[in-house]
A and B are shown apart, each in its own frame.
Chain A
Amino acid sequence: ETGVTQTPRHLVMGMTNKKSLKCEQHLGHNAMYWYKQSAKKPLELMFVYSLEERVENNSVPSRFSPECPNSSHLFLHLHTLQPEDSALYLCASSQGESFLNTEAFFGQGTRLTVV
């Protein structure tokens, strides 16, 4: 248990569906992240939120839409996805200001399959 919880753990959706991934952290951190993990590829940073404000967006297609309503919750809204979007989506959080607090804590991920 890392203090970062993601739901659902598994999701199968059609290309015309709309779904959302949820992430919740109980660590009091002020930054949250979405990463995409595809087979044989490095983890790809998708979005970074700091103090509930998006500070980084790594050229992610608009069919992925993040939302951070407060410092404890992060969503990833999905619509009209493609089969190549099938991957493990990982949420992470960190407390980034302190020199010592450089560690990111990860959730268990949501395994997404687009059919």
Chain B
Amino acid sequence: AQSVTQLDSQVPVFEEAPVELRCNYSSSVSVYLFWYVQYPNQGLQLLLKYLSGSTLVESINGFEAEFNKSQTSFHLRKPSVHISDTAEYFCAVRDHTGRRALTFGSGTRLQVQP
């Protein structure tokens, strides 16, 4: 069994400030790790993913996340946020053993203020 914990339900931040959204997971097997974003009134969209290789992965819109195996974390960061980054962010895992479905955290609402 696996689980995902997102400790912060809401993160308010001013525009152009840095942000970190925390994600910790537990699993008895190796996992793939994902961050999804949900803009208002929309479904989830993949933001970035870690499958293997470099532990630092980046998205096209400036977000990055680093896989830390010893701390079982996959925190999401952005050095300077924009108003348009306001959304709900979900961390998710999927194990390597063939179970297809993703296990999600409860989400973190990022609220960027001018």
Q: Are A109 and B4 in contact (CB under 8 A)?
A: no
* B43 and A2 contact, CB distance less than 8 A: yes
B51 partner, pick from A31, A33, A43, A100, beta carbons under 8 A = A100
Q: How far is the CB of B38 from chain A (nearest CB, A)?
A: 8
Within B71-110, which residues are at the interface with A (CB < 8 Å)? Answer: 90, 94, 98-107
- Contact A42 to B101, CB < 8 A, known contacts A106-B44, A108-B42: no
The answer to whether A109 touches B100 (Cβ under 8 A) is no
Q: Which of A35, A55, A104 has the most CB of B within 10 A?
A: A104
List 10 A-B pairs, minimum CB-CB distance, nearest first.
A106-B43, A43-B104, A106-B44, A96-B100, A108-B43, A42-B106, A42-B104, A45-B101, A107-B43, A102-B32
Q: Contact residues of B with A, CB < 8 Å?
A: 4, 9, 32, 34, 36, 41-46, 49, 51, 90, 94, 98-107
- Can you pick out 19 interface pairs between chain A and chain B where the beta carbons lie within 8 Å of each other? A31-B100, A42-B4, A42-B104, A43-B102, A45-B102, A45-B103, A50-B100, A56-B99, A100-B51, A102-B34, A102-B49, A102-B51, A103-B34, A103-B49, A106-B43, A106-B45, A107-B43, A108-B41, A108-B43
